[in-house]
Amino acid sequence: MVQIKSVGVIGAGQMGTGIAHVVALGGYDVLLHDVSAERLEAGMSLIHHNLTRQVVRGIIDQAAMDAALTRIKPVDELQAIGGTDLAIEAATENEETKKTIFKALGPHLSDKTLLASNTSSISITRLAAATDRPDRFIGLHFMNPAPLMKLVEIIRGIATGPETYETAVQFAQSLGKTTANAEDFPAFIVNRVLVPMINEAIYTLYEGVGTVEAIDTAMRLGANHPMGPLELGDFIGLDTVLSIMNVLYEGLADSKYRPCPLLVKYVEAGWLGRKAGRGFYDYRGEHPIPTR
Ligand SMILES: NC(=O)c1ccc[n+]([C@@H]2O[C@H](COP(=O)([O-])OP(=O)(O)OC[C@H]3O[C@@H](n4cnc5c(N)ncnc54)[C@H](O)[C@@H]3O)[C@@H](O)[C@H]2O)c1
């Protein structure tokens, strides 16, 4: 089995920063890269902020936080990731973006490097085929927020080798995570079930069955969900929700997965949820206020 000591994380958004955080706390050296220098800087501050919160809450001690921070290094050049033992891609949920990243990384990869994608829905087999090492490519799907959520969904592409799989499972477990295996079909398990529910909640809003508040209250208290579906859509990012619905719609060719036009409109407006300050709720004030 490959000995993982260093990990590269590509994309310093919500997921990339969460993954870098949990992987560094797990004792690995981390290189974090983003195409945007601004996002990379903001990502490093967010990791600092989130680690501090964990110290304040007594989840980790100051020494663990300091050690984790010394292990994470931001890098402006993608090629620096090529020398790590495991490169985890956590960039925007867009197949072309991800393939372009793997193509650009290819010439800089060392022979030993395993590749993983944190994609929520895109075919691992297709992404792996865009690299020189489909046998050493796997889906490592962390949940949001990665430092807190216990699950890592593991997705093997058609060519993923047994050693890659064993290494990935052991790596996830070393971070204190539980793994669940999903076959490589659109959106795997978690998002195959979860995201159509969020899309249906948006249809419920679109058709006037309930207000934003009524829908979220109903699902929180009526189905015992910790977050309402619209709040959860905002938390995930509405662009990501739309991408996943499109992958389901196109990949399974079934009209039951068609994205709600209201979801499309929010994304077109740039109202992407929490990360943009506005989605089904406006987060710019002291308390979130429904936007419809
Ligand atoms: N948001 C969630 O709840 C969630 C949960 C699990 C998995 N995911 C998956 O994780 C991935 C990232 O999602 P996110 O929520 O962090 O999105 P995000 O929008 O917060 O971050 C995406 C980041 O990728 C960067 N990026 C875009 N193109 C790049 C490139 N060519 N090279 C390097 N960086 C690039 C962007 O600058 C941005 O910082 C997606 O595949 C998504 O489906 C998301």
Q: Where are the alpha helices (DSSP H) in 82-211?
A: 95-105, 124-129, 162-174, 190-206
Residue 210 Cα to ligand 1 middle (Å): 31
Mean pLDDT by 10 residues, the chain (292 residues): 93 98 98 98 98 97 98 98 98 97 97 96 96 98 97 98 98 98 97 98 98 98 98 98 97 97 98 97 97 94
Query: Catalytic residue at 89?
Result: no
The pLDDT of residue 2 is 78
Q: Which residues line ligand 1 (CB under 6 A)?
A: 10-16, 34-36, 39, 90-93, 97, 101, 118-120, 141-144, 236-237, 240, 275
Query: Catalytic residue at 153?
Result: yes
Neighbours of 183 (CB within 10 A): 9
The whole-angstrom separation of Cα 62 and Cα 138 is 34
The whole-angstrom separation of Cα 86 and Cα 74 is 16
Q: With contact defined as beta carbons under 8 Å apart, do 239 and 267 qualify?
A: yes
pLDDT digits 0-9 by tens, 6-63: 999 999 999 999 999 999 999 999 999 999 999 999 999 999 999 999 999 999 999 9
CATH architecture for residues 6-182: 3-Layer(aba) Sandwich (3.40)
Give the homologous superfamily in CATH for domain 192-290: N-(1-d-carboxylethyl)-l-norvaline Dehydrogenase; domain 2 (1.10.1040.10)
Annotated active-site residue in 50, 118, 120, 243: 120
Q: With contact defined as beta carbons under 8 Å apart, do 31 and 71 qualify?
A: no
Query: Catalytic residue at 118?
Result: no
* pTM for the full predicted model: 0.94
Q: With contact defined as beta carbons under 8 Å apart, do 125 and 159 qualify?
A: yes
The residue extents of the domains of the chain are 6-182, 192-290
Q: What whole-number percentage of the chain has pLDDT above 90? A: 99
Cα-based angle 199, 210, 120 (whole degrees, multiple of 5): 15
Residue 141 Cα to ligand 1 middle (Å): 12
